[in-house]
Amino acid sequence: MPDLTQAVWRRSSQSVASGNCVEVARGPGWVAVRDSKNPSGPALVFEPGRFDVFLRQVRR
């Protein structure tokens, strides 16, 4: 599990004004996703290829 304390988080371009947002951070060999309303909470961490699969499934 990567150390996410220094991760640079970006808010999704699909976020809505109501605050229902996710943030994504990328590092060498990993992609992390978290709830922007709970930045100190848990994050999902994926290998880049598995993140691509996750995105395809979410878009369906």
Specify if 36 maps to a domain: yes
Report CA-CA distances (Å) from 20 to 5, 15, 60: 22, 6, 19
pLDDT (mean) for 3-31? 86
Range of the domain at 33: 10-59
Q: Is 16 helix (H, G, I), strand (E, B) or coil?
A: coil
Interatomic CA distance for residues 32 and 45, integer angstroms = 4
Specify if 19 maps to a domain: yes
Q: Among 31-35, 45-49, 54-58, where is mean pLDDT lowest? A: 54-58
Specify if 41 maps to a domain: yes
Number of domains in the chain: 1
Specify if 3 maps to a domain: no
Specify if 5 maps to a domain: no
Does residue 46 register a pLDDT over 70? yes
Specify if 51 maps to a domain: yes
Specify if 26 maps to a domain: yes
